[in-house]
Amino acid sequence: MGFTIGGIREIRSGSRRRGRSSECTAVAEFTGLWGWDVAPGARTAAGTCSCGRADCPAPGAHPLDFAPVVPAGATLGEVTQAWGEFPGAAVMLPVGRAFDIIEVAEPAGRRALVRLERMGLPVGPVIATPDGRAHFFVAPGAAAELPDLLYRMGWDDAALDLHGLGPGAYITAPPSDRAGLGPVHWLRSPALDSATKPPAARLLLGTLAYVAHRSRA
């Protein structure tokens, strides 16, 4: 798949010309430029989830079971047609395919991001959620390897607020709202050098674990 800056501009300008929603624009970028699958997600209002279940365990924070995933590589036109079937859906990304996630508290994530960039280490996209978490995109397989990696680095503290999300998990992506708490946003936006090939977890883990530990002290 080819990715160009011109392609990004075309998606964004095309969306403005046609009056497409910000969610639709984001989905087209994610599928067409970064090679990510996207799932339409539930929304919530006054604690009621749009999935229709009165006993929903995660209102506004899960994919819609009845909505098909928009696959990586989908064009702007294909995205517009698919997303039009579920107007107002949240943008959700399935984890474990193109990337895994390392999750830490947002304050620790912000401090770690500054350190990582200062050291010149490769960093992929990073998302901040309205419930105070930071999601670092890393190469697939990280979640399964995380306990062993932490142990080998000397970070086998069970109370360490650092977790891996892998296959079966979904994260809410900007510009969508999560669980009625507010929108998620980028701490570090996707870029050509990192979105399609996120860094190996081991390159970030020492800094993330150190900052998470210091934040707890």
Per-residue pLDDT of 16-56, as tens digits, reads 444 457 888 899 999 999 999 999 999 998 889 999 999 99
Mean pLDDT of all residues belonging to the chain: 88
Q: How many angstroms separate the CA atoms of 109 and 187, rounded? A: 9
Give the predicted TM-score (pTM) of the model. 0.89
**pLDDT level of residue 135 (50, 70, 90 thresholds):** very high
Predicted local distance difference test score (pLDDT) of residue 20: 57
Length of the chain: 217
Predicted local distance difference test score (pLDDT) of residue 156: 76
**What are the sequence ranges of the domains in the chain?**
14-216
Predicted local distance difference test score (pLDDT) of residue 100: 98
Predicted local distance difference test score (pLDDT) of residue 28: 94
**pLDDT level of residue 1 (50, 70, 90 thresholds):** very low
Cβ pair 186, 127 in contact under 8 A: yes
Predicted local distance difference test score (pLDDT) of residue 96: 97
pLDDT top residue among 20 and 93: 93
Q: How many angstroms separate the CA atoms of 168 and 42, rounded? A: 16
CB atoms under 10 Å from CB of 202, counted, come to: 15
User: What mean pLDDT comes out for the span 73-99?
Assistant: 93
